[in-house]
Structures are given as structure tokens and as C-alpha cells.
Structure 1
Amino acid sequence: MEDVTATLSKPALKIGPYEVDPPVVLAPMAGITNVAFRRLCREYGAGLYVCEMITARAVVERHPGTMHMMAFDQGEYPRSMQLYGVDPKTMREAVKIIVGEGLADHIDSNFGCPVAKVTRKGGGAALPYKRKLFAQIVRASVEAAEAAGVPFTVKFRIGIDDDHHTFLDAGRIAEAEGAAAVSLHARTAAQRYSGKADWSAIARLKEAVQTIPVLGNGDIFTADDALRMVAETGCDGVVVGRGCLGRPWLFGELEAAFAGRPIPEGPRLGEVAQVLRRHAELLVQHDGHDKAMRDLRKHMAWYFMGFPVGSELRRRFAMVSSMDELDELIGQLDHEAPFPADALGPRGRQGSPGKVTLPHGWLDNPDDDLVPEAEDMHSGG
């Protein structure tokens, strides 16, 4: 490991007026980081917890489903929201609504989504290639947010593919236009979630962006990974996504690591089952029983990753339909089974690299500021 002492002695991460200690941010994940999951994670450690991605147009149109997604727990502060948009005017209007009605304390923006339905219309990770348009979006958003003292931050990827890197320009532009911080997922859009994140790009971005915090994202699956990223790259904080799937206690481990305390041992299966049940309770409170049970099912494989849970029991957990049934299934687990060492690696989607789908002629002129059509996607990615 690099110089961990230097890592632990770095000044506290500040995003606008907010001190983020430990310097850990939960990445917004579609269908995952709702108010229930965020509360579960927050019960283990401090940091900044970002809600699911919200589209600017849906905010302006006050789409009922989007307004429900913009819920925050009573004790959640600062309330952090990620906004997606491709049109400076729509982004400005959405930010005005959010800050004018006191709906969030921090707004992040998504310029890193690699999904084909987004990039084929010029959104997500495709957009920073259009430097003027990117600058206009950040400028409009910052101006609207600054009126209420709300920090606006920007997240992006290394670029479209290995031939079209955009991250250094994106970082400099975001800094120049008044962003409070930038985050880099150290993969290209072509990589999606496959392969390894290139942490050296985070170090290069940190060198290029001098006046605002730089956060690193990609392949943080353990507390040691987070310390190593900060030590190797000099970044000011870390953004954690897939590593916490089925492991909300990772935030407790991260808090201990950054405080220089011993990292707690992983929980036994019985403790994991109680976390799972707590997750179910919080989902029911937020979404009602039926939707909560449907939502919970996708988390089962992550919670039980590596544990000795038989295939039939796994199948039944993945089809659970009531709290009573959940309790009955939990009773059949081996509560003393220790946390498996092989469950500390990648989890969640990985997939394969592939060609990025872009609008016709997208790469012809990086200074074209014509607004693309990607705004019509729904909130949540």
C-alpha cells in the first residue's frame, strides 16, 4: 500500500459549504439508491449519500414518479440529488425549481452514463465530447444553484473510448464554470463496467484541476481499496457504487478506515439476514408492501454472495412476496456462517466492453453546441 498516513492526514473534503467526513460519497444507482437504501447505508457511517438520478425535464414537468423518487429521510443532511439533462435551459429551470422549493442541498450532474439508450441520443458519457454544450449546461446549472447557495458538482467518465478521451477538458471546463467538485469514474463509456478502472486517470485529473475537489470512482470494493485510491491518485474523496450492493455496512468499514481505526470483521450470515430484514422494513415504509417486496428481490443475490445458501433457498428468497415469508426463510439460514473472503470483490453488473452507440456525425465537431434529443428518458437511468 502507498502512504496511508498521508491519506489519513488529508484535509476534510468540502463540497461547497458541506464538510464530508469521511470523504465518501454513495454513487447514485438506478433502482438502488432510493431513500430506504440510503438510510440503511447512513446507519453505518457518515458521508454523502446521493439519491437516484432524476431527469431535468421530469422535474420541470413535475412527473409524479419523479417527485416520489426525490424523497429524503427526515434526518438526511445534506440532501443530495443527481440531475440528468442535455439542454442548458431545461437544466437551469430544473435547478431553479429544486433550489427555489428547497428540495435538495446539493446537486450533482450525470455525464457518465454509458447505456446505449442514452449515448445514442448524445447524452450521458457522450455529451462531454461537445465542449461548448457541456460548458453551457454547467454554467446554467451553477448560476441557478448559486442563487440559493447550493453546490453543483459534475460526474463524468474518462471518455467515449480509448480514441476519444474527454475527462481532462471536462474537469477544466467544470472548474472554470463554477462547479463545486468533479468526480471521475475511471473507465471509458466503451468499457461500461468491465475490466479494471484506470486510477492513473484520476491522478491526471487531480493535477489538471487545481481549485476544487476531485473525487475518484471505480473498483472500490473494500475499505483498503478506498485508502489505496486516495494514496495513489491524491484524490480528495471516493465515490462508491457497486461495492456496497448487498453490503451497506461497507460505509462503516470506510469510516473506520479513514479514521485510522481497525476495520470491523465482516458480519456472519445471521447479521446479514437482519440487515436484509431492516432493508425490507424501510422499503415498505417508503413504497408500500407489494412494491417493496418486488424491489427487495434484486438485492438477494448480493446479500448472500459467497455464503453457503442452497440453490432452492436462494430461489425462494429471490421470489419472496411478504414479510412473513421473509422471516420464515431467514429462519432457515445458518446464522453462524462467517462472512466469506471471496465476497469482497466485484459485484453488480460488469458486462463486456463494446462500441459506444452515438448519434450520426457526433464526433465530427466537438465545438458544435446543438442540443441533442436525449432529454426524453425517464428518471432513474
Structure 2
Amino acid sequence: MTSAQEKRTSEPLESSDSKKIQLEPVEPVQKRVDHFAKGMAAIKPEFIVESSSKVEIQYDDDEAEGGERGEPEKGSGGGRRKKRGQNKNRDLKQKKEEIRLCTSLLDPENPKVCSYGPEQCRSTHNVEEYLASKPEDNEGICPVFKALGYCPAGLKCRWLQSHYDKETRKLIKDLERTEKSKEELNYEVNIVSHEARGKLRKKQYEFEVASKVIEFIDTTVQSEENIANAQQKRKDNEAAFVEAPFKIAEKKRLDFRNAKIVSPLTTVGNLPYRRLMKTLGADVTYSEMALSVPLLQATNSEWALPKAHRSEYPGFGVQIATSKHWAAAKVAEILYKETSHVSELNLNCGCPIDLLYRQGQGSALLDQPARLLRIVKSMNASSGDIPVTVKIRTGTRDNKNTAKTLVERLLAENDVAAITLHGRSRQQRYTREADWNYIAEVGQTVKEWNDKKEDDKESSDTQRTCFVGNGDVYSHVDWYNAVNKEGIDSVMVARGALIKPWIFEEVEAQQYLDKSATERLDILHKFTDFALEHWGTDEYGVGLARRFMCEFLSFTHRYIPIGILERLPPKINERPPQWRGRNEMETLLGSTDYKDWIKITEMFLGKAGPDFVFTPKHKSNAYEGN
């Protein structure tokens, strides 16, 4: 009620003929909640819960493109964003068992030799003592034993009762199932040997191609003052330079037209998640972003990132972040020589994270096109038959798009097989919707270039450059609106595939799929099985599987079932009021409380032990549920 209305209800008003008229009191107007307000999800009123405790739901989606890795804890000047409501010091380390069994005794029937010896080994060699200390086994059949016919975790398995004979004290093995698993290509690939990593660590790895490429590229970046002095050296390098054994036209061909592509995703885009997405219709997947220098230092955690499941290939790309052409060249060569299931090398030129930006990596390359081009050329010359692709943003600043000019330079160099454009600037992060009009404009530039190459007889042996759009694709409507634009070959889906993993099923069906709570649990169950196959079924592996399942649920809980929405299409950036589902399980799956996420993991991984630690990324996810 306005102040004028309030005055009318309490005071008599004087008419133009000076007669006083007493008005009837006005009933107070009920304030109606606008469920169609901008930025609010349109949930049917009967599913909205009136809550006395107001909880501000915050989503910081930077982890979809670089995430929290290496992010500084405190802000400093320079226009950096404030991190409101974020748990900055997350404890993500899983505690290990107090009594640990030596890995040489995982299979008591076939013991291995302990490198330390029973007396000096920090782990116990007393099998009976270890088994007595273990918590009670989880019920059911071990998911890894069921899939592979044996369990690599052996006596440490949390489902040991399903594949251990207590009387004979032997592990049960299904050799027929093991052979069938190999035939089904159920194994992991791109595992770099200990020997190769040892040489990297000792700086003894021989880069036969990269060393010559680096030397050649170095002479092209001489300052003007040194040009005269460098001319002779450059001639010498050119004479010694050995052209890469594979020309652009001879590299593996990429065709992304109408391909269903999952974006490189940090933390959540792990191997089990990508394997899950392959079962749900994805054609192309990417590793989590790997940093070039830690790779060259043979860091184990970094070399875990290029690993893939056999089902991902062909169509698996390794994403690299770097700021140095020498590092890019070396990483490209070692990936070509030491891995066997890589379809492309993708250069990250879009990660907005401050730490990487200050190091000249990620989106910092958008402002240094010359450096970017040198890196691409170095990768291309050193990667054998593996093609090189790039992922960029519209620019680094709002209202200052530079991608079109950058794409024109990339096309002129003819070194990239595909370009992906995320329709936001670095400064925008995820604060506004992606600019698909600009993406289409850049796509038209790529199309004109491809058309020109087809007409040019001299360029007839080169591949066409694919162009992929990225940003805010959350339904089959968004997907087809994008790919139907001229010049756009396909769409790379990031958060849409995290929140709604069956998005490619919708694309294939060309309709919304109202997945029931049971169907969504089946998807989570499959993810759990894949996670246990990857990380193991011992206490530590189960803890990792539980932690990454919670990370996955930190996105999936944001899904609002189609059946409770008042209007379509749903928008990825819309925030819901507190709501309840059509049954208790649907309500649980939509909970914003991380304790409920842990409850969901317990359906598949057993009771979480007192030592399990998971801290949600946002404080708003840590409130006590009603």
C-alpha cells in the first residue's frame, strides 16, 4: 500500500466544492509473490515451501572452467571479485586407515615381496589383525568384482564378504568375467609409464622434435634490437629445423558437426563422470585442465588427468593450460609418444581464474595473440598426428569483444583443427547470459574462411576448421537453436551436463525428459560404480568416490523437475525459491544441504565413517536442513 492510500484510509478528503466526504477503509492488499520474476525459476505454487529461515543460495560456477584449483584465498586490489559466502579453506583430504595392510598382501594367495621388509614396513603384515580392525563390510556385491571378475583392492575391499572365502582364506576370482571385461574394452588408457615419468623427473627425457621446434620458434620472437644479430642464427636454425612428420592434412580428422560435446570441467569432469556421460550419449569428452609445467615435472596428480576410459576413444581430448611455447611443445610431444588414445590436444585460452591469469595462462592469452599463436604452432609441430584445438572467450573485458579478430589470425595461421568460443568475457564470469549473437557472428567468419579454402585449389589438401559454441545450453531447445545457426558446427555443454547429465538424451529425443527420482538415482548409481572401478573399493577409494559424488551432487541438486515448472524452457541461471518434489526422494535430490548429499552417497557406498570429511564450496550449502 502506498503512503497516499494509507492517508486516504485515515483522513477525510476535501472535495473541490469544499464538502468533506468520508471514504470507506481500504482493505490491505496481499503482496503476491511474482514467480515469473527475472532470475527466478517458475515453480508451480503448490510445490513452493514457505520457509522461516531464509537461506541465500549462491552458485559460483568458475569450477566449470578452471575451478578452485590454485585460487588464492584472499583478495587484493586490481578489481578482483569478492568471494562472498565461499568456504575458502576446504579440507578435501581423506583420512587413511589407522591400521594399514601392506599392499604386498592384498591377495594372500599370491603375496608379493615387500620392498621395505616386514620389520621396517610401516604397514602391518598381520592379515588377521588387519581384518579384525576393519569396519563391517558393506552389504551387496562388490561393484568392481561384478564388473571385472576380480577386485584389485583385495583384502582391503569394503565389500570383501562378496569375494572372499573365509574358510580357505582365498579371494574369489571369476576369470571368465575378467576375459569378457577385456572384450568389452572395460579398461583405462593413457597411463604414462613409470620409466617415462622418471626420465621427466630427472630431466633426462629426450624431446627429439620439440627441442628443434623450440629453437626455431625462439628465433621468431627476437626483439627489433636483436633482429640484425639474429638473422644468421635464424638461418642456421631453419636449416636444422626438421618439419613435423605429420602435416596438417595428415593429422587425425575432426568432424564436430552435430557432435554431442562435454566441456573440459575441473574437479567434476573426472574420468568416472566422463565415462558416465558416454553412456548417456556424449560423443566427445575432455580431460580436466592439465598444467604444462607440472606435467613436465612428472607430478603424479597432474599425469592422472590425461587418463581416460577406453569407451571415451575416439573422441577424447586432453586440455592443456600453458603460457610458454617451449612447455607446450614438450607436453605435445610426450603426449603423442607416451599415450595411445588421444584424439586432440586442446589449448585452454578461456580459464578466468585469477592465479592462472596472472601467470599468463588461460584467458590471459586472449590479450597476447602473438604468444598464443606461437604456443599453437609449437604444439602443432610437436604433436605428431594429433590435431590441436583451442577454447577461447569473447575477450577479457565486458563490451570489448576481441574473439573475432583473434579467430581471423588463428585461421590465417592454419594451425587449429577446431575453435570453441564461450560467449562470455573473462570479466563477466557467469554473471550474464552467454552472447550467442556474437558467437554466431564469429561462426560466420569461420564459415567464410572454410568456403574460401574449398574454392582455393592450393588449400584443397587442408582440413576445414570446425567451430563450436559454448554457454548456457540447458535443454534440447538451446542446443538446436545454436546448431541451426549458420557457421556453428556444434555446441560444447558444461554446466548443463553437470546439472542434467541426460541432456544429450533430450537432444536425441528432441523433447524434454521428466526423469523420475528413481531414474536419477540409477544415474548416480552408475556413476558410483564407475568411481569405485577408478579409485578402488578400499576405505581410501570409497572416500574419494564419496567426495567426488558430493561434488557431482553440488550440481545435480540444482535440477528442477520439468513436472513442477509452470513454464518452459528452463533457464540455467534461474534461481528457485525453496521447493518440494513430487515425492520424498525427489525432494531429497533437490536439497541444498550437503548433509543430504552425504545421505545419498550412503545409499551406494555404505555408511560414511566418522573420519569422512566433505566441506561444500559454498556456505549456503552448509546450513541445517529443515
Which TM-score band applies after superposition, normalised by the shorter structure? 0.7 to 0.9
CA distance in 2 between counterparts of 1:94 and 1:216 reads 27
| TM-superposition CA deviations, 1:96-144 (whole Å, max 9, x none) | 0001113522111100011112223332112121121111111111111
Partner of 2:392, secondary structure, is: strand
- The answer to whether structure 1 residue 139 and structure 2 residue 377 are counterparts is yes
* Kept in 2: contact 1:24–1:47 (CA 8 A): yes
CA distance in 2 between counterparts of 1:118 and 1:224 reads 34
Aligned residue identity for 1:273: L
How far residue 265 of structure 1 moved from its aligned partner, in angstroms, is: 1.9
* Kept in 1: contact 2:376–2:416 (CA 8 A): yes
How far residue 327 of structure 1 moved from its aligned partner, in angstroms, is: 6.9
Aligned residue identity for 1:238: V
Residue number in structure 2 paired with 1:126: 364
- The answer to whether structure 1 residue 214 and structure 2 residue 470 are counterparts is no
Partner of 1:215, secondary structure, is: strand
Aligned residue identity for 1:127: L
Residue number in structure 1 paired with 2:404: 168
Choose 184-193 or 202-211, whichever is displaced more: 202-211
* Equivalent residues, number: 310
Partner of 1:92, secondary structure, is: helix
* Kept in 1: contact 2:262–2:493 (CA 8 A): yes
How far residue 164 of structure 1 moved from its aligned partner, in angstroms, is: 4.0
Residue number in structure 1 paired with 2:513: 265
The CA RMSD over aligned residues, in Å, is: 2.6
Choose 86-95 or 294-303, whichever is displaced more: 294-303
- Residues 197-212 of structure 1: matches in 2 within 5 Å? 197-209=434-446, 210-211=449-450, 212=465
* Kept in 2: contact 1:84–1:109 (CA 8 A): yes
Residue number in structure 1 paired with 2:323: 86
Q: 1:32 to 1:312 in 2, by over 3 A?
A: closer
* Kept in 1: contact 2:347–2:390 (CA 8 A): yes
CA distance in 2 between counterparts of 1:63 and 1:327 reads 32
How far residue 262 of structure 1 moved from its aligned partner, in angstroms, is: 4.1
* Kept in 2: contact 1:107–1:151 (CA 8 A): yes
Residue number in structure 1 paired with 2:584: none
| TM-superposition CA deviations, 1:252-275 (whole Å, max 9, x none) | 222x1xxxx543622101110111
Aligned equivalent of 1:116, options 350, 354, 378: 354
Residue number in structure 1 paired with 2:501: 248
CA distance in 1 between counterparts of 2:325 and 2:392 reads 17
How far residue 25 of structure 1 moved from its aligned partner, in angstroms, is: 1.4
Residue number in structure 1 paired with 2:485: 232
Aligned residue identity for 1:234: G
Q: 1:109 to 1:312 in 2, by over 3 A?
A: closer
Aligned equivalent of 2:385, options 149, 168, 172: 149
- Residues 342-381 of structure 1: matches in 2 within 5 Å? none
- The answer to whether structure 1 residue 303 and structure 2 residue 556 are counterparts is yes
Taking structure 2 as the reference length, the TM-score comes to 0.47
How far residue 44 of structure 1 moved from its aligned partner, in angstroms, is: 1.4
* Kept in 1: contact 2:278–2:311 (CA 8 A): no
Residue number in structure 1 paired with 2:420: 183
Choose 178-187 or 119-128, whichever is displaced more: 119-128
How far residue 208 of structure 1 moved from its aligned partner, in angstroms, is: 2.2
- The answer to whether structure 1 residue 40 and structure 2 residue 276 are counterparts is yes
Choose 15-24 or 237-246, whichever is displaced more: 15-24
CA distance in 2 between counterparts of 1:17 and 1:232 reads 23
Aligned residue identity for 1:220: V
Q: 1:128 to 1:301 in 2, by over 3 A?
A: closer
- The answer to whether structure 1 residue 50 and structure 2 residue 260 are counterparts is no
Residue number in structure 1 paired with 2:83: none
Residue number in structure 1 paired with 2:532: 284
Partner of 1:299, secondary structure, is: helix
Partner of 1:154, secondary structure, is: strand
How far residue 299 of structure 1 moved from its aligned partner, in angstroms, is: 2.1
Larger Rg: 2
Residue number in structure 2 paired with 1:106: 344
Structure 1, unmatched stretches of 5+, are: 1-14, 330-347, 350-381
- Residues 12-27 of structure 1: matches in 2 within 5 Å? 16-20=252-256, 22-27=258-263
Structure 2, unmatched stretches of 5+, are: 1-250, 451-464, 536-540, 562-580, 582-586, 609-616, 619-626
| Bigger fraction of residues in strand | 1
- The answer to whether structure 1 residue 66 and structure 2 residue 302 are counterparts is yes
CA distance in 1 between counterparts of 2:554 and 2:544 reads 18
* Kept in 1: contact 2:262–2:282 (CA 8 A): no
* Kept in 2: contact 1:53–1:84 (CA 8 A): yes
| TM-superposition CA deviations, 1:39-77 (whole Å, max 9, x none) | 101101141111111111122222100112221112221
Q: Percent identity?
A: 24
Residue number in structure 2 paired with 1:372: none
CA distance in 2 between counterparts of 1:232 and 1:312 reads 37
Aligned residue identity for 1:61: Q
Choose 42-51 or 300-309, whichever is displaced more: 300-309
Residue number in structure 1 paired with 2:165: none
CA distance in 1 between counterparts of 2:482 and 2:269 reads 23
Q: 1:89 to 1:248 in 2, by over 3 A?
A: same
